Amino acid sequence: MNDYAFFIMHYKKNIERRNYIFENFVTNDKSIRWITDYDREQIDDSLDDLYCFNHDNWYEIVGQQLPILVAHRFGLNPNYRKTPWTPLIRRIEEIIRQNTPEKVIQEFPQFMPRKLKTFEISLLLKHRAAFKDIVANHYKFGIILEDDFILKETSLTALKNLISCGITDWDFIDLAGGAELTPREQDKEVIPGLFSMLPPRTRTTCGYMISNRLCREITNLDPPLTAPCDWELTYFLQRFQAKAFWTMPTLINHGSEMKFYQSNNN
């Protein structure tokens, strides 16, 4: 039994992406598990059984991480690009204490409660299926890749070095980045290129490593589908006090954000 496997979240209509992965990534020495169930067409007739919008659940998932979400939004403003994340997050926490999450969230329409789109439900189910597979097969960890990842020339060597670097006390390592989010001044660089993130949080879910421990916690909790995949995962990181890290530079590229692929999120 291998210590880990690669899990590729694949939408079967993404033929161009599948071809790229087979041409550039798939080799006989890799343990690769394709997650192809739960495509949007496959779940369309059963959406009412899989998902029900709930206002309170939204605030449970999104409201708890609102300081992070808003601070990251502020941090992309040119006036705050050099401000460390910690003071930004603390500032938003104070604003929320003086008001309420519901009042603060009204200032940011992108965080307002809403129904998930079918592609978001599909992606959530694919990621959760990977977590269950990691637990069922007793992998020490899984490497989760959405099918729009793009390799750098150094990706496979850098990933091999990261796996063998000796760091064992971790639950989540972001590999692909995204959303213009990078570590900042106060984030601790534990080894060259790997930064500890407090509070624990994601960037996107294009590519990351996740521990068996965290997968077991998520699988046992099995909460209702509520928020987009990256926000849901950040909620899990916080709830289970996960030890989270970001790579910088990233080990792989996010193909959709680079415009290498056209997004089909609709």
262: in domain: no
Task: Return the CATH number at 244.
Answer: 3.90.550.10
- Write down the pLDDT at residue 266: 60
Q: Are residues 123 and 150 in the same domain?
A: yes
Q: Looking up tokens 């500032």, which residue turns up?
A: 91
Q: Residue range 200-225: average pLDDT?
A: 97
Q: Answer whether residue 259 shows pLDDT above 80.
A: no
Closest by CA position to 246, among listed 186, 172, 165:
172
Q: Answer whether residue 1 shows pLDDT above 80.
A: no
Q: What does the angle CA 179 – CA 21 – CA 219 come to, to the nearest 5 degrees?
A: 65
- Write down the pLDDT at residue 192: 95
- Write down the pLDDT at residue 237: 98
260: in domain: no
- Write down the pLDDT at residue 133: 98
Q: Answer whether residue 83 shows pLDDT above 80.
A: yes
- Write down the pLDDT at residue 153: 95
What range defines the domain where residue 85 resides?
63-112
Q: Answer whether residue 243 shows pLDDT above 70.
A: yes
Q: Answer whether residue 263 shows pLDDT above 80.
A: no
Structural domains counted in the chain? 2
168: in domain: yes
Q: Are residues 156 and 242 in the same domain?
A: yes
User: pTM higher than 0.85, yes or no?
Assistant: yes
Q: Residue range 121-129: average pLDDT?
A: 98
Q: Are residues 14 and 93 in the same domain?
A: no
- Write down the pLDDT at residue 264: 66
Q: Name the CA dihedral angle for 231, 236, 237, 242, rounded to a multiple of 10 degrees.
A: -170
The rounded distance, in Å, linking the Cα atoms of 184 and 81 is 9
Q: Are residues 160 and 229 in the same domain?
A: yes
Q: Are residues 181 and 245 in the same domain?
A: yes
- Residues 6 or more apart whose CB falls under 8 angstroms from that of 221 comprise 236, 239
- Write down the pLDDT at residue 64: 86
- Examine the fold and report which residue of 71, 91, 112 is the final residue of a domain before the chain moves on: 112
The rounded distance, in Å, linking the Cα atoms of 114 and 109 is 10
Q: Are residues 47 and 71 in the same domain?
A: no
Q: Looking up tokens 């926000």, which residue turns up?
A: 231
Q: Are residues 108 and 121 in the same domain?
A: no
Q: Are residues 36 and 158 in the same domain?
A: yes
Q: Are residues 122 and 212 in the same domain?
A: yes
265: in domain: no
